[in-house]
Amino acid sequence: MTKLTLRRPDDWHLHLRDGAMLEGVIGDTSRHFGRAIIMPNLVPPVVTTADARAYRERIVKAIPAGDTFEPLMTLYLTEHTSPDDVEEGKKSGLITAVKLYPAGATTNSHGGVRDMDKAMPVLERMAKIGLPLCVHGEVTTPEVDIFDREAVFIETVLDPLRKRLPELKVTMEHVTTENGIDYIRSAEKNLAGSITTHHLIINRNAILVGGIKPHYYCLPVAKRENHRLALVKAATSGDARFFLGTDSAPHIDPLKECGCGCAGIYTSINTMSCLAHVFENEGALDRLEAFASLNGPTWYGLQPNPETITLIKRDEPVDFPKKRETGAGPVTVFDPLFPLHWDVA
Protein backbone atom coordinates (compact mmCIF):
# COMPACT_ATOMS: atom_id res chain seq x y z
CA MET A 1 0.00 0.00 0.00
CA THR A 2 1.35 3.43 -0.97
CA LYS A 3 -1.72 5.60 -0.38
CA LEU A 4 -4.02 5.76 2.63
CA THR A 5 -7.04 8.04 3.16
CA LEU A 6 -8.55 8.36 6.63
CA ARG A 7 -10.77 10.68 8.62
CA ARG A 8 -8.93 13.77 9.75
CA PRO A 9 -7.24 12.82 13.03
CA ASP A 10 -7.47 14.44 16.46
CA ASP A 11 -4.86 14.86 19.17
CA TRP A 12 -6.24 14.01 22.61
CA HIS A 13 -3.25 15.40 24.55
CA LEU A 14 -1.40 18.48 23.34
CA HIS A 15 0.77 21.24 24.79
CA LEU A 16 0.63 24.52 22.89
CA ARG A 17 2.18 26.75 25.57
CA ASP A 18 1.40 30.46 25.12
CA GLY A 19 2.64 33.66 23.52
CA ALA A 20 5.42 33.37 20.95
CA MET A 21 5.74 29.60 21.45
CA LEU A 22 2.03 29.08 20.80
CA GLU A 23 2.25 31.16 17.65
CA GLY A 24 5.30 29.22 16.47
CA VAL A 25 3.99 25.67 16.92
CA ILE A 26 0.22 25.71 16.46
CA GLY A 27 0.43 25.43 12.67
CA ASP A 28 2.05 22.00 12.93
CA THR A 29 -1.09 20.76 14.65
CA SER A 30 -3.78 22.74 12.82
CA ARG A 31 -2.38 21.63 9.44
CA HIS A 32 -3.25 17.96 10.05
CA PHE A 33 -5.53 17.70 13.09
CA GLY A 34 -9.16 18.71 13.42
CA ARG A 35 -9.21 19.02 17.20
CA ALA A 36 -6.91 18.68 20.18
CA ILE A 37 -7.33 18.54 23.93
CA ILE A 38 -5.20 21.40 25.19
CA MET A 39 -3.20 20.95 28.37
CA PRO A 40 -3.71 23.61 31.07
CA ASN A 41 -0.26 23.65 32.72
CA LEU A 42 0.67 27.20 31.82
CA VAL A 43 2.27 29.67 34.21
CA PRO A 44 -0.06 30.51 35.87
CA PRO A 45 -2.19 27.42 35.14
CA VAL A 46 -5.67 27.39 33.60
CA VAL A 47 -7.70 26.75 36.76
CA THR A 48 -11.08 28.41 36.08
CA THR A 49 -13.54 28.51 33.21
CA ALA A 50 -12.68 32.18 32.74
CA ASP A 51 -8.99 31.24 32.40
CA ALA A 52 -9.88 28.61 29.81
CA ARG A 53 -12.03 31.02 27.82
CA ALA A 54 -9.23 33.58 27.66
CA TYR A 55 -6.65 30.94 26.70
CA ARG A 56 -8.93 29.59 23.98
CA GLU A 57 -9.24 33.07 22.51
CA ARG A 58 -5.44 33.35 22.33
CA ILE A 59 -5.21 29.95 20.64
CA VAL A 60 -7.89 30.73 18.07
CA LYS A 61 -6.21 34.02 17.26
CA ALA A 62 -2.93 32.18 16.56
CA ILE A 63 -4.38 29.56 14.16
CA PRO A 64 -2.90 30.15 10.69
CA ALA A 65 -5.29 31.59 8.11
CA GLY A 66 -7.07 28.87 6.15
CA ASP A 67 -6.69 26.17 8.82
CA THR A 68 -9.79 24.81 10.54
CA PHE A 69 -8.93 23.65 14.04
CA GLU A 70 -10.89 23.41 17.27
CA PRO A 71 -9.07 23.60 20.61
CA LEU A 72 -10.81 21.53 23.31
CA MET A 73 -10.15 23.13 26.66
CA THR A 74 -9.31 21.57 30.01
CA LEU A 75 -9.02 22.83 33.57
CA TYR A 76 -6.06 22.23 35.86
CA LEU A 77 -7.36 20.41 38.94
CA THR A 78 -6.31 21.83 42.29
CA GLU A 79 -7.38 21.13 45.84
CA HIS A 80 -9.46 24.33 45.66
CA THR A 81 -11.17 23.85 42.28
CA SER A 82 -14.82 24.94 42.44
CA PRO A 83 -17.33 22.21 41.49
CA ASP A 84 -19.80 24.90 40.41
CA ASP A 85 -17.27 26.52 38.09
CA VAL A 86 -16.41 23.15 36.55
CA GLU A 87 -20.08 22.36 35.97
CA GLU A 88 -20.66 25.77 34.42
CA GLY A 89 -17.70 25.22 32.13
CA LYS A 90 -19.11 21.93 30.90
CA LYS A 91 -22.63 23.35 30.45
CA SER A 92 -21.22 26.21 28.37
CA GLY A 93 -19.57 23.72 26.03
CA LEU A 94 -16.15 25.19 26.73
CA ILE A 95 -14.65 22.54 29.04
CA THR A 96 -14.04 19.04 27.65
CA ALA A 97 -12.17 17.56 30.63
CA VAL A 98 -10.32 18.31 33.87
CA LYS A 99 -6.66 17.39 34.23
CA LEU A 100 -5.11 15.82 37.32
CA TYR A 101 -1.42 16.50 37.81
CA PRO A 102 0.02 14.98 40.97
CA ALA A 103 2.06 17.83 42.41
CA GLY A 104 5.57 17.83 40.98
CA ALA A 105 4.92 15.14 38.36
CA THR A 106 5.95 17.12 35.26
CA THR A 107 6.36 20.60 33.74
CA ASN A 108 4.52 23.32 35.69
CA SER A 109 2.75 20.80 37.94
CA HIS A 110 3.80 22.21 41.30
CA GLY A 111 0.26 23.48 41.92
CA GLY A 112 -1.26 20.04 41.37
CA VAL A 113 -3.03 17.76 43.82
CA ARG A 114 -1.24 16.44 46.90
CA ASP A 115 -4.27 15.18 48.87
CA MET A 116 -6.91 13.42 46.75
CA ASP A 117 -9.48 13.75 49.55
CA LYS A 118 -9.44 17.52 49.08
CA ALA A 119 -10.26 17.09 45.39
CA MET A 120 -13.17 14.70 45.97
CA PRO A 121 -15.98 17.31 45.91
CA VAL A 122 -15.12 18.34 42.36
CA LEU A 123 -14.49 14.74 41.26
CA GLU A 124 -17.90 13.73 42.61
CA ARG A 125 -19.51 16.56 40.67
CA MET A 126 -17.66 15.50 37.52
CA ALA A 127 -18.93 11.94 37.89
CA LYS A 128 -22.46 13.28 38.27
CA ILE A 129 -22.34 15.49 35.17
CA GLY A 130 -20.29 13.12 33.00
CA LEU A 131 -17.14 15.23 32.66
CA PRO A 132 -13.98 13.13 32.10
CA LEU A 133 -10.89 13.29 34.30
CA CYS A 134 -7.58 13.15 32.43
CA VAL A 135 -4.76 11.90 34.64
CA HIS A 136 -1.01 12.18 34.55
CA GLY A 137 -0.61 8.73 36.02
CA GLU A 138 2.50 8.88 38.18
CA VAL A 139 3.20 9.16 41.88
CA THR A 140 5.84 11.66 42.91
CA THR A 141 6.96 10.29 46.26
CA PRO A 142 10.77 10.27 46.27
CA GLU A 143 11.14 6.69 47.45
CA VAL A 144 9.45 5.33 44.30
CA ASP A 145 11.78 4.65 41.37
CA ILE A 146 10.96 6.88 38.40
CA PHE A 147 10.45 3.81 36.17
CA ASP A 148 7.87 2.42 38.63
CA ARG A 149 5.82 5.59 39.13
CA GLU A 150 3.03 4.62 36.72
CA ALA A 151 2.51 1.15 38.17
CA VAL A 152 2.49 2.49 41.73
CA PHE A 153 0.03 5.25 40.73
CA ILE A 154 -2.39 2.66 39.39
CA GLU A 155 -2.17 0.62 42.58
CA THR A 156 -2.22 3.39 45.18
CA VAL A 157 -4.16 6.26 43.56
CA LEU A 158 -6.13 5.36 40.46
CA ASP A 159 -7.61 2.02 41.44
CA PRO A 160 -8.77 3.28 44.87
CA LEU A 161 -10.26 6.37 43.20
CA ARG A 162 -12.17 4.31 40.65
CA LYS A 163 -13.49 1.98 43.34
CA ARG A 164 -14.57 4.98 45.40
CA LEU A 165 -16.13 6.75 42.41
CA PRO A 166 -16.93 4.12 39.74
CA GLU A 167 -19.06 6.49 37.64
CA LEU A 168 -16.15 8.87 37.05
CA LYS A 169 -14.90 8.65 33.47
CA VAL A 170 -11.08 8.52 33.49
CA THR A 171 -8.54 8.87 30.70
CA MET A 172 -5.10 7.54 31.57
CA GLU A 173 -3.00 9.86 29.46
CA HIS A 174 0.31 8.90 27.85
CA VAL A 175 0.27 5.29 29.08
CA THR A 176 3.85 3.99 29.11
CA THR A 177 3.75 0.53 30.67
CA GLU A 178 2.39 -2.94 30.12
CA ASN A 179 0.86 -2.51 33.59
CA GLY A 180 -1.17 0.45 32.35
CA ILE A 181 -2.32 -1.35 29.21
CA ASP A 182 -3.41 -4.40 31.22
CA TYR A 183 -5.22 -2.24 33.77
CA ILE A 184 -7.22 -0.45 31.08
CA ARG A 185 -8.11 -3.74 29.42
CA SER A 186 -9.30 -5.13 32.77
CA ALA A 187 -11.81 -2.32 33.33
CA GLU A 188 -15.46 -2.98 32.59
CA LYS A 189 -16.27 0.69 31.93
CA ASN A 190 -15.23 4.33 32.31
CA LEU A 191 -11.52 3.86 31.62
CA ALA A 192 -9.50 4.49 28.47
CA GLY A 193 -5.94 5.46 27.60
CA SER A 194 -4.10 7.75 25.24
CA ILE A 195 -0.75 6.70 23.77
CA THR A 196 1.90 9.07 22.46
CA THR A 197 3.78 8.94 19.19
CA HIS A 198 7.19 8.80 20.83
CA HIS A 199 6.36 6.07 23.34
CA LEU A 200 5.42 3.82 20.41
CA ILE A 201 8.91 4.31 18.98
CA ILE A 202 11.55 4.80 21.68
CA ASN A 203 12.49 2.95 24.83
CA ARG A 204 14.77 4.22 27.58
CA ASN A 205 17.89 3.32 25.60
CA ALA A 206 17.19 6.29 23.35
CA ILE A 207 17.73 8.60 26.31
CA LEU A 208 20.77 6.96 27.88
CA VAL A 209 22.83 4.84 25.46
CA GLY A 210 25.88 6.60 24.05
CA GLY A 211 25.45 9.62 26.28
CA ILE A 212 22.47 11.48 27.69
CA LYS A 213 20.18 12.69 24.89
CA PRO A 214 17.89 15.36 26.33
CA HIS A 215 15.57 15.56 23.34
CA TYR A 216 14.32 12.04 24.13
CA TYR A 217 13.62 12.90 27.76
CA CYS A 218 9.94 13.14 28.61
CA LEU A 219 7.61 12.47 31.51
CA PRO A 220 6.44 9.82 31.96
CA VAL A 221 9.91 8.67 30.98
CA ALA A 222 10.24 6.01 28.27
CA LYS A 223 10.46 2.51 29.74
CA ARG A 224 11.91 -0.90 28.83
CA GLU A 225 11.39 -2.45 25.40
CA ASN A 226 8.73 -4.90 26.63
CA HIS A 227 6.59 -1.93 27.66
CA ARG A 228 7.02 -0.25 24.27
CA LEU A 229 5.94 -3.44 22.54
CA ALA A 230 2.84 -3.61 24.75
CA LEU A 231 1.95 -0.05 23.72
CA VAL A 232 2.39 -0.90 20.03
CA LYS A 233 0.21 -3.99 20.41
CA ALA A 234 -2.55 -1.97 22.10
CA ALA A 235 -2.43 0.94 19.64
CA THR A 236 -2.55 -1.29 16.57
CA SER A 237 -5.16 -3.69 17.97
CA GLY A 238 -8.21 -1.64 17.02
CA ASP A 239 -9.36 -1.71 20.67
CA ALA A 240 -11.58 1.37 21.08
CA ARG A 241 -10.17 2.10 24.53
CA PHE A 242 -6.84 3.27 23.06
CA PHE A 243 -6.32 6.40 20.98
CA LEU A 244 -3.75 9.01 20.01
CA GLY A 245 -2.65 11.69 22.43
CA THR A 246 0.73 12.94 21.27
CA ASP A 247 1.73 14.82 24.43
CA SER A 248 3.74 16.93 21.98
CA ALA A 249 5.47 19.33 24.34
CA PRO A 250 7.70 22.06 22.91
CA HIS A 251 10.58 23.51 24.91
CA ILE A 252 13.24 25.77 23.48
CA ASP A 253 16.60 24.06 23.10
CA PRO A 254 18.38 25.98 25.89
CA LEU A 255 15.82 24.63 28.36
CA LYS A 256 16.38 21.06 27.13
CA GLU A 257 20.16 21.18 26.74
CA CYS A 258 21.17 22.22 30.24
CA GLY A 259 22.05 20.85 33.64
CA CYS A 260 18.40 20.27 34.57
CA GLY A 261 16.64 19.88 31.24
CA CYS A 262 12.87 20.10 30.81
CA ALA A 263 10.77 17.03 30.02
CA GLY A 264 8.99 17.03 26.70
CA ILE A 265 9.27 15.85 23.07
CA TYR A 266 7.97 17.82 20.10
CA THR A 267 6.15 15.50 17.68
CA SER A 268 3.26 17.46 16.18
CA ILE A 269 5.01 18.06 12.88
CA ASN A 270 5.73 14.41 12.00
CA THR A 271 3.28 12.37 14.09
CA MET A 272 1.18 11.08 11.21
CA SER A 273 4.28 9.97 9.30
CA CYS A 274 5.63 8.22 12.40
CA LEU A 275 2.33 6.49 13.09
CA ALA A 276 1.99 5.24 9.52
CA HIS A 277 5.48 3.72 9.80
CA VAL A 278 4.65 1.98 13.08
CA PHE A 279 1.30 0.66 11.89
CA GLU A 280 2.72 -0.52 8.57
CA ASN A 281 5.44 -2.46 10.39
CA GLU A 282 2.71 -4.22 12.36
CA GLY A 283 0.63 -4.97 9.26
CA ALA A 284 -2.08 -2.75 10.72
CA LEU A 285 -2.44 0.26 8.41
CA ASP A 286 -6.14 -0.56 8.20
CA ARG A 287 -6.39 0.21 11.94
CA LEU A 288 -4.60 3.57 11.91
CA GLU A 289 -7.86 5.44 11.34
CA ALA A 290 -9.42 3.90 14.45
CA PHE A 291 -6.46 4.87 16.64
CA ALA A 292 -5.93 8.39 15.26
CA SER A 293 -9.40 9.46 14.13
CA LEU A 294 -12.26 7.39 15.55
CA ASN A 295 -11.65 6.00 19.04
CA GLY A 296 -10.94 9.35 20.69
CA PRO A 297 -14.11 11.10 19.50
CA THR A 298 -16.18 8.12 20.57
CA TRP A 299 -14.68 8.20 24.07
CA TYR A 300 -15.27 11.94 24.46
CA GLY A 301 -18.80 11.80 23.03
CA LEU A 302 -18.03 13.62 19.78
CA GLN A 303 -18.50 12.81 16.11
CA PRO A 304 -15.46 12.00 13.95
CA ASN A 305 -14.22 14.82 11.78
CA PRO A 306 -16.08 14.92 8.44
CA GLU A 307 -12.92 15.81 6.48
CA THR A 308 -10.25 13.34 5.42
CA ILE A 309 -6.48 13.42 4.98
CA THR A 310 -4.38 11.30 2.63
CA LEU A 311 -1.02 9.76 3.42
CA ILE A 312 1.33 8.96 0.54
CA LYS A 313 4.32 6.64 0.80
CA ARG A 314 7.24 8.34 -0.93
CA ASP A 315 10.19 6.55 -2.51
CA GLU A 316 12.59 8.97 -0.85
CA PRO A 317 12.48 9.85 2.86
CA VAL A 318 10.38 12.85 3.82
CA ASP A 319 12.58 15.81 4.75
CA PHE A 320 11.25 17.18 8.03
CA PRO A 321 13.04 20.16 9.58
CA LYS A 322 15.35 19.31 12.44
CA LYS A 323 14.12 22.34 14.38
CA ARG A 324 10.97 24.43 14.49
CA GLU A 325 11.98 28.06 14.74
CA THR A 326 9.65 30.08 16.98
CA GLY A 327 9.62 33.59 18.38
CA ALA A 328 10.50 32.04 21.73
CA GLY A 329 13.53 30.19 20.34
CA PRO A 330 14.34 26.96 18.44
CA VAL A 331 12.51 23.71 19.28
CA THR A 332 14.09 20.40 18.26
CA VAL A 333 11.75 18.12 16.30
CA PHE A 334 11.44 14.46 17.33
CA ASP A 335 13.81 12.19 15.38
CA PRO A 336 12.37 8.64 15.34
CA LEU A 337 15.82 7.23 14.48
CA PHE A 338 14.64 5.79 11.16
CA PRO A 339 13.72 7.39 7.81
CA LEU A 340 10.09 8.39 7.33
CA HIS A 341 8.55 7.65 3.95
CA TRP A 342 4.89 8.36 4.69
CA ASP A 343 3.84 11.94 4.03
CA VAL A 344 0.58 13.83 4.45
CA ALA A 345 -0.37 14.89 0.92
pLDDT tens digits along 23-55: 999 999 999 999 999 999 999 999 999 999 999
Q: What span, in angstroms and rounded, lies between the C-alpha atoms of 91 and 85? A: 10
Query: CA 326 from chain center: how many Å?
Result: 21
DSSP state of 294: I
Q: Is the pLDDT of residue 267 over 80?
A: yes
Q: pLDDT tens-digit profile of 113-143?
A: 989 999 999 999 999 999 999 999 999 999 9
pTM: 0.97
> What amino acid positions are annotated as catalytic residues?
247
pLDDT band at 112 (very low <50, low <70, confident <90, very high): confident
Q: Which domains, ranges and CATH numbers included, belong to the chain? A: 3-344 (3.20.20.140)
Looking at the chain, how many residues does it have? 345
Q: Is the dihedral of CA 93, 96, 98, 101 positive or negative?
A: negative
Q: Is the pLDDT of residue 237 over 80?
A: yes
Which amino acid is it at 216?
Answer: Y
Q: What is the DSSP letter of 244?
A: E
CA diameter of the chain: 56
State the pLDDT at residue 284: 98
Confidence of residue 223 (pLDDT cuts 50, 70, 90): very high
* CA torsion through residues 16, 133, 298, 72, sign: negative
Q: What rounded mean pLDDT belongs to the chain? A: 97
